[in-house]
Amino acid sequence: MAEPAIRPLVQVRGLSKVFGDNPLVAMERIGQGHSKDQILEQTGQTVGLNTIDLDIQAGEIFVIMGLSGSGKSTLIRHFNRLIEPTQGQITVDGTDVMTLSEKQLEQFRRHKMSMVFQHFGLLPHRTVIENVGYGLMVQGIEKSERRKKAGAWLDAVGLDGYEERYPAQLSGGQQQRVGLARALCTDADILLMDEAFSALDPLIRSEMQDQLIALQDRLHKTIIFITHDLDEALRLGDHIAILKDGLISQVGRPVDILLRPADAYVEAFVRDVNRARVLTADVVMQPPSCRLTNENLEEALRQMRGEEKDYGYLFKEDNFRGIVSRRAIEAEISKSGLKVDLIQLLEKPMSVHPGASLEKILPTTLGHPYPIPVVTDDGDFQGVVSQKDVISALTETRG
């Protein structure tokens, strides 16, 4: 897969973290390929992360996923060095984070990255507006400006009117909106979100996901998002990395993860996903099998017979015009010879949107004998989805 050639915004190389009093012993065993459990048993040291390599592109939502204890929080806290690594390198926008002094690190945290926490991490003794402006306060920005900016972000997350409340007086969803506003308020390019929505109930969570997607459409931040929920990962992620026992099992686009799980662990993850809801038409579509460019009936019939297809897709100057069935052509020929123009035999094309979920297009594909064209809002033809494609995508485990 040819990913963009530009340098990734965040680059992680050989990152390892061992918790315990003698990390070097554990590092040695990591080098020898021992597993986390073996190392814990042999040395009493906990391996948090095991030689992680990652590339995160500017402007994407990069999701890190894994079961509890797999090292997600440990990994994300390395980006802003809330945790010191045992070994390895992290480069952010060309800066080697490991080489920063305490003062430089403070500046880096103030301007480069901000963070949203699972349990919100709000200051309980500060009002909502003070919480949102906290990052600016730390930077020493004066109060009136702080309030102005914080107020605007509070508006943006839909919490205007709550300025003078204390966090304890808000619901969980509202608190996390404050957390999000606080993170956005510093204008940092990179947003770290550690299970930011996990503490919320499903309805609020999906609302927050929508809000995040909407904000991201506007702001184009680089978001590193932690979750243990695959649906959330598939919904938000441009790329997903799957962590297991401190090791990366697989990195890829959501569909790669879903359709081509790298190992049994990922597969187990993926198994319970409702694919009909997650997979979309553009993922399963194929190029049209029988592409007609000639309006001559006989020509078309010959092509269809040659390719053993019952339906043909007519294009004119690369624009999709419609579908014609072999039976209709044959009937027409036997009835009236070759007088009629192919255009007149075109059926009214049924089409689906490339982003439509399989769940949505399934009735359409089942209701029509031909593969349904996939067409964008602008009328661009992308491909076709057949009944068979949809069903195999829903049932198949490995691509």
Partner 1 sequence: MAAARPDTPYEMEMVMAVENWLTTFPEMERADLIAIRKALDAGYRAFSRSYGDLIESLFDPLLYFLVWFEKLLLSTPWWLVILIVVGLVYGASRSPKLLVGVAVSLLLIGYFGMWENTMRTLSIITVCTILSITLGIPIGIMMARSDRTQAVVTPVLDIMQTMPAFVYLIPVVMLLGIGKVPGVIAVVIYAIPPVIRLTNLGIRLVDKEVLEASMAFGATRRQRLWGVQMPLAMPTIMAGINQTIMMALAMVVIASMIGVKGLGQPVLKSITNQYFTMGLFNGLAIVTLAIIFDRVSQAYARRTQRHLQGNAHG
Ligand X SMILES: Nc1ncnc2c1ncn2[C@@H]1O[C@H](COP(=O)(O)OP(=O)(O)OP(=O)(O)O)[C@@H](O)[C@H]1O
Residue 11 burial class via C-beta count within 10 angstroms: exposed 0-12, middle 13-18, buried 19 and up: middle
Asked if 123 interacts with partner 1 (CB under 8 A), we say yes
Out of ligand X, partner 1, Mg ion, none, what residue 315 binds, judged by CB under 5 to 8 A for its kind, is: none
In the list 28, 106, 298, 396, the residue contacting partner 1 (rule: CB under 8 A) is 106
Min. distance of Cβ 195 from Mg ion in angstroms? 6
Cβ–Cβ < 8 Å for 146, 137: yes
Question: Is 168 an interacting residue with respect to partner 1 (CB under 8 A)?
Answer: yes
Contact flag: residue 73 with Mg ion (CB under 5 A): yes
Q: Is 2 an interacting residue with respect to partner 1 (CB under 8 A)? A: no
Q: Does 80 bind Mg ion (CB under 5 A)?
A: no
Interaction between residue 86 and ligand X (CB under 6 A) = no
Residue 143 within binding range of partner 1, rule CB under 8 A: no
Candidates 43, 51, 74, 249; binder of ligand X (CB under 6 A) is 74
- What does the DSSP assignment read for 155-212? HHTT-TT-TT--GGGS-HHHHHHHHHHHHHHTT-SEEEEESTTTTS-HHHHHHHHHHH
Amino acid at 296: N
Mask of contacts with ligand X, 223-262, x by CB under 6 A? -----x----------------------------------
* Burial zone of 282 (CB within 10 Å; 0-12 exposed, 13-18 middle, 19+ buried): middle
Measured from the CB of residue 228, what is the shortest distance to ligand X in angstroms? 5
* 146: enclosing H helix or E strand: helix 143-156
19 binds ligand X, rule: CB under 6 A: yes
Closest CB to partner 1 among residues 186, 325: 186
Residue among 272, 174, 157 at smallest CA distance from 214: 157
Contact 197, 173 (CB under 8 A): no
Per CB under 5 A, which region of 72-80, 141-149, 277-285, 328-336 contacts Mg ion? Answer: 72-80
Q: What are phi and psi of 237, to 5 degrees?
A: -80, 135
Candidates 246, 247, 251; CA nearest to 261 is: 251
Q: Does 135 bind partner 1 (CB under 8 A)?
A: yes
Alpha carbons 74 and 81: distance in angstroms, whole number: 10
Q: Which residues pair with 192 in a beta bridge?
A: 115, 224
Residue 254 binds which entry of Mg ion, partner 1, ligand X, none, CB below 5-8 Å type-dependent: none
| The binder of ligand X chosen from 29, 34, 72, 309 (CB under 6 A) | 72
Q: Is residue 11 within 8 Å of residue 55, measured between CB atoms?
A: yes
Cβ atoms within 10 Å of 52's Cβ, excluding its own: 24
Instruction: Tell me which of 47, 61, 190, 192 binds partner 1, using CB under 8 A.
Output: 192
Q: Does residue 35 bind ligand X (CB under 6 A)?
A: no
Helix (H) or strand (E) holding 227: strand 222-227
Considering only residues 69, 121, 349, 354, which one is a binding residue for ligand X as defined by CB under 6 A?
69
Q: Among the candidate windows 132-140, 215-223, 297-305, 311-319, which touches partner 1 by CB under 8 A?
A: 132-140
* # residues near partner 1 by CB under 8 A: 35
As a whole number of angstroms, the distance between CA 159 and CA 181 comes to 9
Q: Does 46 bind ligand X (CB under 6 A)?
A: yes
The site string for partner 1 over 54-93 (x = CB under 8 A, - otherwise) reads -----------------------x--x-x-----------
Give the integer Cα–Cα distance in Å for 277 and 274. 6
Q: Which residues bind ligand X (CB under 6 A)?
A: 19, 46, 48, 66, 68-74, 228
Which residues are at the interface with Mg ion (CB under 5 A)?
Answer: 73
